[in-house]
């Protein structure tokens, strides 16, 4: 079906979808036909044998949970885990043992237990910081032991910017936003006035 036919059908201009051939027999249920062909019923207990690809399941009892075109789907519990396998009918035989409950019943039982046990919430991860994402880094002064007094203002004015910055950081001065020498000196003067 091309896209123009689909568009016309949705707009109501083409009604191919609603027309059925008059001589079409009623559709057969896939589950009914395959169940009759294989000789097994849904939920029936079966014994698994002659597996070459997964020999660990040989001798296990399983329950029929579905059918495919050429295989039977069975649910088997081995080593504490449930697995659904699609096996050829030749590898299955009717078992006299008790079958495991089909998936629909098992899910119903799990739904009844769910309110009693609260499911753990999934962990949330922090978003990865990306370069140039608009954020910026702030240097905060570290809290440490009391430092000796600031050098005199004349010595601070004579210092290179790098040393001035180190002295201010060592004295727990917040230098956030300071970029130029004049700004660092202004911070140093504020600290000197507060300590005096």
For residue 73, what is the domain's CATH number? 2.30.30.70
User: What is the SS3 assignment for 46?
Assistant: strand
Q: Which of 63, 84, 102 is the last residue of a domain?
A: 102
Tell me whether residue 179 is in a domain: yes
Query: And the tokens for 43?
Result: 């939920």
Write down the pLDDT at residue 184: 92
Q: Can you tell me which residue has the tokens 């079958």?
A: 99
Query: And the tokens for 53?
Result: 């690809």
**In the chain, how many domains are there?**
2
SS3 helix, strand, coil % of the chain, rounded to 5? 35, 15, 50
Regions of the chain short of the pLDDT cut 70: 1, 14-38, 68-73, 75-81, 96-148, 196
CA 171 to chain centre: 48
Strand partners, 81: 78
Q: What is the pTM of this model?
A: 0.32
- How far apart, in whole angstroms, are the C-alpha atoms of residue 162 and residue 150? 16
Tell me whether residue 168 is in a domain: yes
Query: And the tokens for 1?
Result: 């079906």
Write down the pLDDT at residue 47: 82
Tell me whether residue 52 is in a domain: yes
Contact of 86 with 72, CB cutoff 8 Å: yes
Q: Say what the alpha-carbon torsion angle 121, 126, 127, 130 is, to the nearest 10 degrees.
A: -160
Q: Say what the alpha-carbon torsion angle 158, 186, 180, 165 is, to the nearest 10 degrees.
A: 60
| Helix or strand holding residue 76 (H, E) | strand 72-78
Q: Which residue range is the domain that position 35 belongs to?
A: 30-102
Write down the pLDDT at residue 158: 92
Condensed to tens digits (0 to 9), the pLDDT of residues 108-134 reads 444 555 555 565 666 666 566 556 566
**One domain for residues 97 and 157:** no
Residues in the chain, how many? 196
């Amino acid at each position: 079906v091309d896209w123009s036919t689909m568009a016309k059908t949705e707009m109501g201009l083409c009604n191919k979808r609603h027309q059925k051939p008059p001589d079409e027999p009623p559709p057969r249920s896939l589950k009914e036909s395959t169940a009759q062909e294989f000789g097994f019923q849904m939920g029936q207990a079966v014994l698994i044998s002659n597996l070459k690809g997964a020999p660990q399941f040989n001798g296990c009892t399983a329950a029929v949970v579905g059918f495919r075109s050429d295989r039977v789907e069975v649910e088997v519990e081995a080593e504490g885990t449930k697995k659904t396998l699609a096996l050829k009918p030749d590898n299955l035989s009717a078992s006299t043992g008790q079958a495991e409950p089909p998936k629909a019943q098992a899910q119903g039982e799990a739904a009844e237990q769910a309110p009693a046990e609260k499911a753990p919430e999934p962990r949330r991860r922090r978003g990865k910081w990306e370069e140039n994402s608009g954020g910026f880094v702030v240097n905060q002064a570290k809290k440490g032991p009391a430092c000796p007094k600031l050098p005199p203002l004349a010595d601070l004015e004579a210092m290179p910017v790098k040393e001035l910055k180190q002295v201010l950081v060592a004295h727990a001065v917040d230098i956030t936003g300071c970029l130029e020498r004049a700004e660092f000196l202004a911070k140093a003067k504020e600290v000197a006035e507060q300590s005096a």
